[in-house]
Structure 1
Amino acid sequence: MIAAVTTRLMLLDTASLYFRAYHGVPDSVRAPDGTPVNAVRGLLDFIARLVADHHPDALVACMDEDWRPAWRVELIPTYKAHRVAEEAEDAPDTEEVPDTLTPQVPVIEAVLDAVGIRRLGAANHEADDVIGTLSHRATGPVDIVTGDRDLFQLVDDTRGVRVLYPVKGMGNLAAFDEAALRERYGVDGPGYADLALLRGDPSDGLPGVAGIGEKTAATLLTRFGDLAGVLAAVDDPGAALTPTQRRRLTEAHAYLAVAPRVVRVVTDLPLPDADATLPATPRDPEALAALNERWGLGGSLTRLLAALAARR
């Protein structure tokens, strides 16, 4: 597991953030040889701002070792199915990614390693599961930085866990604590997972329950407490469900039986020990200098190193 942290821990949903960087920074930002590095430089600038604005003591760039785990697909075959790139029938699923983004991912990983920012993934699991595990193990406040609303389920005021969510590009972050979640969605952190699976999520290939949108899902969860309470109400003739709601929930029984395992993030992965303390100076200056020369990281790298140095 990550070494005990008693101060502020920041967890990055790295793929979510470099996708946003890729789409938020023009591809005219290129290396000396003309290769696009917009995702690389955009992510470095974003991390620099996070460090400067939110002052984490430790930071982990959480990675997708498996963006579409087979065990989730076995439970819900449509899970992220629309994102699968066309490959040979016997080839493993690969995510459909823009051609000019794919080559930037190894560069991002190499730069983070040379700077000394800890990267961590887990076999057969998504970055969400790594984030869930680390946030549950943390002994101090946690900031989760993600463009994926699924991680709202980890918000927990009693443990100081909140989500920083980019609402426009990379420059404007909304901080979601329990009050913000209730104001926006009508549920708390754990309730958000139940809301998501009832409502469905086309971006993840989750069908949801036909005819039950976000507002109805929130109303049902407020009325009956959680998904278990909603399902118990289906079997209770006296429960305050409309005939249509009762029918639709009954018809979705098979989906609702497996959806919680798919939607709820894993919080007990056997992750290795690691020091996630942010460095004041680069871990491998020579490697970083070579990467800077090769990829033309320029001001983006300078700003990140300045933000890290300012923490001393």
Structure 2
Amino acid sequence: MELAQEQQPRALLVDGMALLFRGFFANSYGGYIRKTNAGLPTNAVYGFVKYLLDACKVFQPTHIVCCWDMGSTTFRTGQYAGYKANRPEAPNELLPQFDLVKEVVESFGIPNVGVAGFEADDCLGTLAKMYREHAEVFILTGDHDMLQLVDDRTTVVIMKKGHGNYAVYTPQFLLEERQLSPAQIVDLKGLMGDTSDNYPGVRGIGEKTALKLVLEYGSIDGILANLDSLSKSVRTKIEADLEMLHMSRDLATIRCDAPVELEWERCLWVMDRTSVANKFEELEFGSLMKLIG
């Protein structure tokens, strides 16, 4: 896959778990799980490949990296034992596909990145910060928490329902759609918590009240500086949960200083078709061959 010499550098940072889980559930409807003749489940990897190649076609990257979680124990679980404690176990058919998908990514010549003790989000945030000096950065994910990473050089692409359907968030679009700045995404989560990640924020304050407060006072710091201006009910709730408010804001903050080292040149997107075709043949992905030319 040769690149036009005049193309401006563009990095695609892929949230591997988001694509893999989406691929699994999109390709297991009706209870049918795609498997090789030897019985190896491949439905999630199959979906992952389709999503990845579609994004490459749409966003035309010159460089690609794929980031992964490295287990459930991170510095956030050290801060708050309940963090993500409500997550169900991965389906049995998905388990062998965690390693398999990384083999497929390697066959494309794309680096796999993950750091023990950190989440894929932190790796994505760190790489976005590193690479924004070299290129326009696009982060491909399904996770709206990533919107805090949007800036003038970093675009967050949220995968929506339906193949090839994306919401493309620049600072301008984020402001138009949600009336929020990227930093305010974190403040909103600090106040209202996150049921998916299992931290509570301020008990009794939901999304509607949290949004109203953030829009009115700009940030959690702005709210705390104006506690006397709040209704007695809201003020009482915040004062009763100050420690959890600060912790929830910290849990919601994506770290952009994770110990990730990956040279820019290693991410160059030049696909070795033979390598990919061999992997597709091994996994019996004949129907995907047309996608690699």
TM-score, structure 2 as length reference: 0.89
Task: Map 1:89-108 onto structure 2 (within 5 A).
Answer: 96-108=89-101
**Residue type at the aligned position of 2:235:** R
* Deviation at residue 99 of structure 1 after TM alignment: 0.6
Partner of 2:262: 273
* Deviation at residue 290 of structure 1 after TM alignment: 4.9
In the alignment, is residue 297 of structure 1 matched against residue 285 of structure 2?
Answer: yes
**Residue type at the aligned position of 1:16:** A
Of structures 1 and 2, the one scoring higher in RCO (CA 8 A, sep 6+) is 1
Check conservation: 1:20, 1:170, Cα contact below 8 A: no
Q: 1:81 aligns with which of 78, 85, 94?
A: 85
* Deviation at residue 201 of structure 1 after TM alignment: 1.1
Partner of 1:261: 250
Check conservation: 2:45, 2:100, Cα contact below 8 A: yes
Distance in 1 separating the partners of 2:262 and 2:24: 31
For residue 125 of structure 1, give the secondary structure of its aligned residue in structure 2.
Answer: coil
Q: 1:66 aligns with which of 68, 71, 76?
A: 71
Check conservation: 2:20, 2:47, Cα contact below 8 A: yes
In the alignment, is residue 45 of structure 1 matched against residue 40 of structure 2?
Answer: no
Name the count of aligned residue pairs: 279
* Deviation at residue 102 of structure 1 after TM alignment: 0.8
Distance in 2 separating the partners of 1:76 and 1:151: 21
Partner of 1:250: 239
Partner of 1:3: none
* Deviation at residue 109 of structure 1 after TM alignment: 0.6
For residue 160 of structure 2, give the secondary structure of its aligned residue in structure 1.
Answer: strand
* Deviation at residue 215 of structure 1 after TM alignment: 2.5
- Give 5+ residue unaligned stretches, structure 1: 1-5, 85-95, 307-312
Distance in 2 separating the partners of 1:270 and 1:104: 26
Partner of 2:3: none
* Deviation at residue 120 of structure 1 after TM alignment: 0.7
Check conservation: 2:67, 2:120, Cα contact below 8 A: yes
Distance in 1 separating the partners of 2:269 and 2:278: 21
Partner of 1:18: 20
Task: Map 1:1-312 onto structure 2 (within 5 A).
Answer: 7-26=9-28, 27-69=32-74, 71-83=75-87, 96-138=89-131, 139=133, 140-156=135-151, 158=152, 160-234=153-227, 237=228, 240-274=229-263, 275-282=266-273, 285=274, 288=276, 290-303=278-291, 305-306=292-293
**Residue type at the aligned position of 2:181:** D
TM-score, structure 1 as length reference: 0.83
Check conservation: 1:76, 1:259, Cα contact below 8 A: no
Give the CA RMSD over aligned residues: 1.9
Q: Deviations over 1:195-250 (max 9, x none)?
A: 1121111110021212222222122112222111112222xx3xx31111101111
* Deviation at residue 169 of structure 1 after TM alignment: 4.2
Q: Percent identity?
A: 31
Check conservation: 1:42, 1:300, Cα contact below 8 A: no
